[in-house]
């Protein structure tokens, strides 16, 4: 394959464009009030809701996780970053759902988009993964957790299984993120991660595309 970047962009490009167009409508879908559920039923429902909030509905969160993956395509570094992200968003998700904090959506949503721009630009301008990135990812995880809380707040939580449903939603989010990471690993890293052209033809083009999409979202969420 002479130019792997063009090959993958041909495959991923239409998906990026379609999601780019429809993301504002579908990324944070409003789910109607759920009827009273048993604890077991609630656990499965909220596990599923957490997962689909990432795949296929959470295109902004997918791009953030992909941006974390791209700079260092090995599983260990991205899993460390994902762990920091998980801990952070679990904290703010829990605080928001227990009404200890009240994050304003008109601030949180643009910040989520800005976090994607930041990580994508770091991929472009930094030739290697820096240790400081863990701290940056943790801070952005706090922001994303408040975004998850907004979506979960629209869905609601059953009073008799509030904590269990909250935990299962979070587990679903994590499973969605792991799916994104493992898919990226088997599509990109396994075949091209150790190639000399990986950064030039894959990391930089994809990061530029992600940065452009997230920049549009930032402007859209701030002014429209």
Is the pTM higher than 0.85? The answer reads no
Please tell me the distance from the alpha carbon of residue 77 to that of residue 134, in angstroms, as a whole number.
Answer: 10
pLDDT band at 29 (very low <50, low <70, confident <90, very high): very low
Distances (CA, A) of 99 to 6, 36, 111, 150: 47, 21, 20, 12
What are 48-82's pLDDT values in tens digits?
A: 999 999 998 899 999 999 999 998 878 888 889 99
Please tell me the distance from the alpha carbon of residue 10 to that of residue 4, in angstroms, as a whole number.
Answer: 10
| b/e per residue 107-127 (b: at least 16 CB within 10 A) | ebbbbbbbbbbbbbbbbbeee
Note whether residue 44 is domain-resident.
no
Please tell me the distance from the alpha carbon of residue 193 to that of residue 190, in angstroms, as a whole number.
Answer: 6
Note whether residue 68 is domain-resident.
yes
Note whether residue 174 is domain-resident.
yes
Give residue 212's domain range: 56-223
pLDDT at res. 153: 86
Cis peptide before 56 (omega within 30 of 0): yes
Q: Which token pair is 192? A: 């091209």
Note whether residue 47 is domain-resident.
no
User: Looking at the 3D structure of the chain, how many domains does it have?
Assistant: 1
* Percentage with pLDDT > 70 across the chain: 83
Note whether residue 89 is domain-resident.
yes
């Amino acid at each position: 394959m002479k130019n792997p970047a063009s090959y993958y962009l041909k495959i991923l490009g239409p998906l990026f464009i379609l999601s780019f167009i429809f993301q504002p409508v579908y990324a944070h879908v409003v789910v109607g009030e759920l009827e009273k559920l048993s604890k077991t039923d609630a656990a499965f429902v909220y596990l599923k809701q957490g997962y689909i909030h990432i795949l296929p509905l959470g295109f902004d969160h997918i791009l953030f996780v992909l941006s974390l993956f791209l700079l260092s395509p090995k599983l260990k570094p991205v899993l460390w970053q994902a762990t920091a992200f998980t801990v952070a968003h679990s904290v703010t998700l829990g605080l928001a759902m227990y009404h200890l904090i009240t994050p304003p959506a008109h601030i949180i949503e643009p910040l989520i988009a800005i976090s994607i721009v930041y990580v994508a630009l770091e991929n472009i301008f930094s030739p290697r993964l820096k240790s400081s990135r863990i701290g940056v990812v943790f801070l952005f995880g706090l922001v994303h957790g408040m975004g998850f809380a907004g979506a979960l707040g629209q869905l609601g939580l059953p009073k008799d299984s509030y904590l269990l449903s909250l935990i299962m939603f979070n587990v679903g989010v994590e499973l969605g993120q792991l799916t994104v990471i493992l898919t990226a690993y088997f599509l990109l890293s396994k075949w091209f991660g150790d190639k000399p052209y990986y950064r030039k033809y894959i990391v930089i083009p994809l990061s530029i595309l992600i940065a452009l999409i997230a920049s549009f979202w930032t402007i859209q969420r701030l002014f429209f």
